[in-house]
A and B are shown apart, each in its own frame.
Chain A
Amino acid sequence: DAKTTQPTSMDCAEGRAANLPCNHSTISGNEYVYWYRQIHSQGPQYIIHGLKNNETNEMASLIITEDRKSSTLILPHATLRDTAVYYCIVRSGTGNQFYFGTGTSLTVIP
């Protein structure tokens, strides 16, 4: 499975959009991109996933570039409760393993 690269940390002003980038330049055609987040020391929480097309749900939007080598998670109106570590993960369509990496620590500032 392809590995991912994310910035170590980011800040975002409350109420603004948070754009979290992820690089997955070795991604294969059948590999999905997943995003999870972990608040404090709780168990991670699923946010969204996609293969080729952009995806949106009640939590966030996922923008995947046309060559699929990178993606961006967008939290449209960040709140203080969105302060967390965000993990970008690539998983094979036929694989059962998730590699979490070290993620991006997002701090939402009042």
Chain B
Amino acid sequence: NAGVTQTPKFQVLKTGQSMTLQCAQDMNHEYMSWYRQDPGMGLRLIHYSVGAGITDQGEVPNGYNVSRSTTEDFPLRLLSAAPSQTSVYFCASARAGGAYEQYFGPGTRLTVT
């Protein structure tokens, strides 16, 4: 199993550009989530999903969109990038209804200039 994969590993955007961060898992997990981590800070939840077709907002959802058309994939879209979105983005998945032991991807380091 590859676990949770994220692409790209690094990305530089200009202000106003849009892009999609990809996240995929091969563990058939119902629960998937996106976090951002700013320097010296903990992780903050952006959006999460408890199954295909179901998404919900987390703590810091503004400026981001998500969709969940399949169990495996949970892309995160930045609509119009801003310097405040410079961060490291982590995707995670877990089996819902149990221990919610989240498995995290390696992260995407995004810089917005």
Task: Report yes or no: A41 in contact with B88, Cβ–Cβ below 8 A.
Answer: yes
| Best-surrounded residue of A45, A91, A98, A99 (most CB of chain B within 10 A) | A98
Q: How long is the Cα–Cα vector from A41 to B40 in the complex, in angstroms?
A: 11
Binds B, one of A10-18, A22-30, A71-79, A100-108: A100-108
Q: Assuming A43-B107, A99-B45, what are 13 further A-B pairs, CB within 8 angstroms?
A: A34-B100, A36-B102, A41-B107, A42-B104, A46-B102, A46-B103, A49-B100, A96-B50, A96-B56, A97-B48, A97-B58, A100-B42, A103-B42
Range of interface residues on B (Cβ < 8 Å): 20 to 34
Chain A interfacial positions (CB closer than 8 Å to B)? 34, 36, 41-46, 49, 87, 91, 96-103
Asked if B90 is an interface residue, CB under 8 A from chain A, the answer is yes
**Contacts known (A91-B100, A97-B48, A97-B58); A44 close to B43, Cβ less than 8 A:** yes
Contacts of A98 in B (CB 8 A): 33, 45, 100, 102
Across the interface, A87 reaches (CB within 8 A) one of B4, B42, B107, namely: B42
Query: Which residues of B, 62-113, contact A by the 8 Å Cβ criterion?
Result: 88, 90, 92, 96, 99-107
Look across to chain B and name the residue whose beta carbon is closest to the beta carbon of A85: B42
A93's nearest neighbour on chain B, judged by CB, is B100
CB pair B106–A43 under 8 Å, yes or no, is yes
Distance in Å from the Cβ of A51 to the closest Cβ of chain B? 11
The contact sample of 19 A-B pairs, CB cut-off 8 A, is A41-B107, A42-B107, A43-B92, A43-B105, A43-B106, A43-B107, A44-B90, A44-B102, A44-B104, A45-B104, A46-B102, A49-B99, A96-B50, A97-B45, A97-B58, A98-B45, A99-B59, A101-B42, A102-B40
